[in-house]
Structure 1
Amino acid sequence: MDQRKKEELLSAGIDIGTSTTKLIISRFSLMNTAGSTHMPRIEIVDKEVVYKSPIFRTPLKSDNEIDMNAIEEMVLSQYNEANITSNDIKTGAVIITGETATKTNAQEMINHLSRHAGEFLVATAGPDLESIIAAKGSGAYDYSKNTNKTIANIDIGGGTANIAVYQYGKLLGTCTLHVGGKLIEVSDDKINYIAPSLKKAIKRIDISIKEGEKYDQKDLRKITDYMTTIISSMLRNELTETEDLLLGRLPNWEQPIDVIMFSGGVSECIYHSENCHSVDRYNDIGNLLAMSITEDATLASWEWIKPNETVRATVLGAGTQTTEISGGTIQVDNETLPLRNLPVYKIPFKGDFAENLSQLTQSIEAGIEIYDPKKEGQNFALYLSDLPLLGFKEMQSLADALVNAVRKKPKQQPLIIVLERDLAKSLGQTIRVQHEHQHTLCIDQIYVEHGDYLDIGKALQSGVVPVVIKTLTFH
């Protein structure tokens, strides 16, 4: 790619949440940022949001099932409003969030939509990823890069509060709580719905409310005050595993938090309280939860920063922050692309290089036991971390060791290799020369971790491939 020439691609972000569904369309500009005498380095140099959908109520067929047809019609109608078709979408993400990820057809829903709403629109789910995406969409991630302060982004939607903590642009940890506006729904002075995740906590604080019965707003406020107390305890890292509102693991950061930022649907009422006065506004406890948060003395002890986006933070993150671009010198076989839902198995190369090579077969056998224990042919990507500088002979030895090791798999598969350093083309071409029958895809300038999942799109005009690193966790 000419250094001065830009390549553009359209990205979609679709957020199917507990309460609402949103969509954005973004335009990415790619350019070679390396000098003419250096190896190409294709990077995303500009991102522009070109269309934002209205905020729709998430359509459900029942309490346990998403209305897939209504979601798809909604998305395609918004493409039409933006004057694009699904063929124009080259990257992006469909993320299913909060309580919606518990629906019986959640996985079917986002897999179906990712296949029909764009060429490389990936399906994602899971509270950890949701926390990260929301923090990037709200502006908390950028704030952490530009200051020396540790910031916690607290994204509160209908069913969950997803927290991500950043310092200097580095993720320190995440946490998810059963805290959200739609955990109790009301109408006509009666309780319509109490989320199962909330019932133990209600007993703990000794409040008697039942579905179908009238409620006292003071009781609902006691519940949202309790939720706020749990948020404060989480920020101070004082939660225990017995906490009823904890979803998953305990907070996993050690650094004290300096600054907090709220995003998500409830944050609309936190920062724009003039529009939210009572439970009647949305027939749920979202407004009361916002009041509990803004009036809490403990939360007031932290510095508060307003987000760039509130209710659209997650969808903005999904549409603009999930895609990475591989290095410009990679080895790909476009016939094998796109690849979706590839688990990542990390193989570190610390210490003696020859010793690491001798253990490659054993490492890949361990990977097979994790990802393909029934020998059904589930492929996985090998992330080779901490590789040293390699000479020609060492590159040949690595190529041989990798191909020989993957022969332990139950059937022949493309060898998928992910590297941080600019070695992909050298390693990929070495494998091709020495083992011409081994299909190989080798990409670099990508940082992943053991247990991540990868989607890899078809090569763009510039020779790079779009890569999305994600999780696929349905609670």
Structure 2
Amino acid sequence: MLKRYDAQKENIISAGIDIGTSTTKLVISRFSLMNMAGGTHMPRIEIIEKEVLYRSPIYRTPLLTASSIDIQAVERLVREEYITAGIEPADIKTGAVIITGETATKHNAEEMVHSLSDHAGDFLVATAGPDLEGIIAAKGSGAYELSKRTGKTVANIDIGGGTANAAVYRSGRLCGTCTLHIGGRLIEFSDGKIISISPPVQQILRLWGADLERGDSRNHPIIGKLTDYMAEVIGRMLRKDLHREDLPLLLGHDPNWTEEIDYIMFSGGISECLYHFENAESSPAQYDDIGKMLAQSLRNCRELAAFKWVEPDETVRATVLGAGTQTTEISGATIHAEGHELPIRNLPVYQIRFDNNLEKGLHQITEAVKKAVEIYDPQQEGQNFALYLTALPYLGFRDIQELSSVLLKSLQAKPMPEQPLVVVLESDHAKVLGQTIKVQETKQSIVCIDQIKVEHGDYIDIGHLLQTNVVPVVTKTLTFHR
């Protein structure tokens, strides 16, 4: 944790590690942090400069079996990359280990991230589910920033080895997400022959009454038909017009945005096949799968040609760059925080916008808690999260009481309702809201902080209470905006 009252300027080193379905990569960065407040004012630490120091080659993700990650091989790879970059694990003050795509479903995925974070520095540890992965990739690709800059609705489609994760943003606000079983490794080859066909693809082939088996030639004509079909399904997904026969390729919920999409952007390994940003030397991993054919199908697809395409800032590295940084803020001085609950680390943030309408906001709360559980705790293991209440109207005493009551009721939607209720506010209501919740339910543990700006997909650390009755809040979010 950054010391608040020492040096006016400090450099910290950050690492991002992304272990995906097909590839594993690492990025080392340096951030310059400075106290931008005057000597008599409350500290306000900001990142004033950022620099990527080192990008690793892109490696094939080491697996022991189809359902198991080779933890030792991944740790060895990271150790060797640290040596190449000239850094020690002790140098790393922040960053992220993210397991994405099909790799997140491996039986030892959680063991992998905990083991790696123990050896590789002080990390945020997250096994990204498909929605979260799409959100992180949209920040790394530049789609989020483009939507903010232009006010347009931008869909980022991050396609890797196993999944296509779409996240839609308008004016910097997350509109919705959708994930499809579409990716390069759904059919794999060796020596010109098919060696694996994923279950969703097998289901589509059965629906078509088509014959494709292990041992068949990689030039079998049905494969081109399949990748063309996958591209069309992405087009229909973007229009929220999936057909019944497309459903075997849907992973989780339907597209859930209401806006019409203006721009589309592709990131992930398949977009590297489209744009070729990487040098050949930086990618020792060789792919023997349908990735290149899928990229060609995307390029030729009439469904997708109707959208305006925008080139991404990053292709295969979008997720690792989207995940690996931190900024530090100080909460407002009027907060409610129970000291025995602090510090709290690695809380994902779920945003609820009130749009200056109390009734509208109150109606959203319980459903928002359910959605937050779906995104951040899909296995119902009790991963806590923070609710970020933004664009609140003027609140009188009765309004605060009603808001407190609805927040308390919404906790029943969590697998572990007894966890601390963590509320983050933009506006200066934290102390009165926290105290009111405590009066209504004395046993409920509460951390309520304000004057903080965060977003969907951010993770926060909340530090110990300082003497000035504020808390340091570390927001882990995207740094590499253009």
TM-score interval, normalised by the smaller of the two chains:
0.7 to 0.9
* Residue of structure 2 equivalent to 1:269: 273
Counterparts of 1:319-468 in structure 2, within 5 Å, are: 319-320=324-325, 323-327=326-330, 329=332, 336-337=342-343, 339-340=345-346, 341-344=383-386, 352-354=396-398, 356-357=400-401, 360=404, 363-364=407-408, 366-367=410-411, 370-372=414-416, 379-383=419-423, 385=425, 395=431, 398=433, 400-404=435-439, 407-409=442-444, 415-419=446-450, 422=451, 445-447=452-454, 454-456=459-461, 464-468=472-476
Give the whole-Å Cα distance in 2 for the aligned partners of 1:33 and 1:273. Answer: 36
Q: Secondary structure at the match of 2:74?
A: helix
1:114 alignment partner, SS class: helix
How far off is 1:140 after superposition? 1.5
User: Could you tell me the TM-score, scaled by structure 2's length?
Assistant: 0.77
Residues 42-63 of structure 1: CA distance to partner in whole angstroms, max 9, x if unpaired? 3333322111111111011100
Q: 1:181 to 1:45 in 2, by over 3 A?
A: same
- Gaps (5+ residues) in structure 2? 347-382
Does the residue aligned with 1:342 lie in a helix, a strand or coil?
Answer: coil
1:173 corresponds in structure 2 to 176
CA contact (8 A) 1:3 1:36 kept: no
Distance 1:107 1:18 in 2: 15
Which amino acid in 1 is paired with 2:163? T
Q: Secondary structure of the equivalent of 1:383?
A: strand
User: What is the DSSP-based 3-state SS (H/G/I as helix, E as strand, rest coil) of the residue aligned with 2:384?
Assistant: strand
Q: 1:190 to 1:146 in 2, by over 3 A?
A: same
> Corresponding residue for 1:260?
264
Listed one character per residue, the Cα deviations across residues 318-343 of structure 1 (whole Å, up to 9, x for unaligned) are 114xx343335567869943534533
Partner of 1:314: 319
Aligned residue-pair number: 426
Q: Describe the SS at the equivalent of 1:298.
A: helix
| Alignment equivalent of 1:50, drawn from 40, 48, 53 | 53
Q: Does 1:245 align with 2:249?
A: yes
How far is the alpha carbon of 1:416 from its aligned partner?
A: 2.5
Contact residue 268 and residue 318 of structure 2 kept, 8 A: yes
Q: In structure 1, what is the Cα distance between the partners aligned to 2:208 and 2:164? A: 20
Instruction: Check conservation: 1:39, 1:329, Cα contact below 8 A.
Output: no
Mapped to 2, the partners of 1:324 and 1:334 lie a distance apart of 24
Inter-partner Cα distance in structure 2 for 1:150 and 1:54: 33
Give the SS at the match of 2:169: strand
Question: Root-mean-square deviation (CA), in Å?
Answer: 3.6
* Distance in 2 between residues matched to 1:408 and 1:21, nearest whole Å: 45
CA contact (8 A) 1:21 1:55 kept: yes
Other-structure match for 1:195: 198
By how many angstroms is 1:287 displaced?
0.7
Corresponding position: 1:206 with 2:246:
no
Whether the aligned pair in 2 keeps the contact of 1:91 and 1:466 (CA below 8 Å) is no
SS at match of 1:207: coil
Q: 281, 286, 289: which one pairs with 1:284? A: 289
TM norm structure 1: 0.78
Please point out which of 13, 31, 39 is paired with 1:10: 13
Matches of 2:82 and 2:215, distance apart in 1 = 40
- Residue 426 (structure 1) aligns with: none
**Deviation at residue 34 of structure 1 after TM alignment:** 4.9
For residue 238 of structure 1, give the secondary structure of its aligned residue in structure 2: coil
Larger mean Cα displacement after TM superposition, 453-462 or 114-123: 453-462
Contact 2:192 2:217 in 1 (8 A): yes
The answer (yes or no) to whether the contact 1:122–1:468 under 8 Å persists in 2 is no
Aligned-residue identity in percent: 47
* Deviation string, structure 1 residues 343-392 (Cα, Å, up to 9, x no partner): 3357898764246437747743652662426xxxx6334216586669xx
Alpha-carbon deviation of 1:306? 1.3
Q: Once the 2 structures are TM-superposed, how far is the Cα of residue 122 of structure 1 from its aligned partner?
A: 2.5
Distance in 1, Cα, partners of 2:145 & 2:224: 34
- What's the CA shift string for 1:425-475, capped at 9, x where partnerless? xxxxxxxxxxxxxxxxxxxx04467xx8955165799973323489xxxxx
- The answer for the alignment partner of 1:236 in structure 2 is 239
What is the deviation of 1:127?
1.1
Residue matched to 2:140: 137
Within 2, Cα distance between the matches of 1:233 and 1:270?
20
Deviation at 1:272, TM superposition (A): 3.4
Is 1:224 matched with 2:233?
no
Is residue 2:302 matched to residue 1:302? no
Instruction: Identify the residue that residue 81 of structure 2 maps to in structure 1.
Output: 78
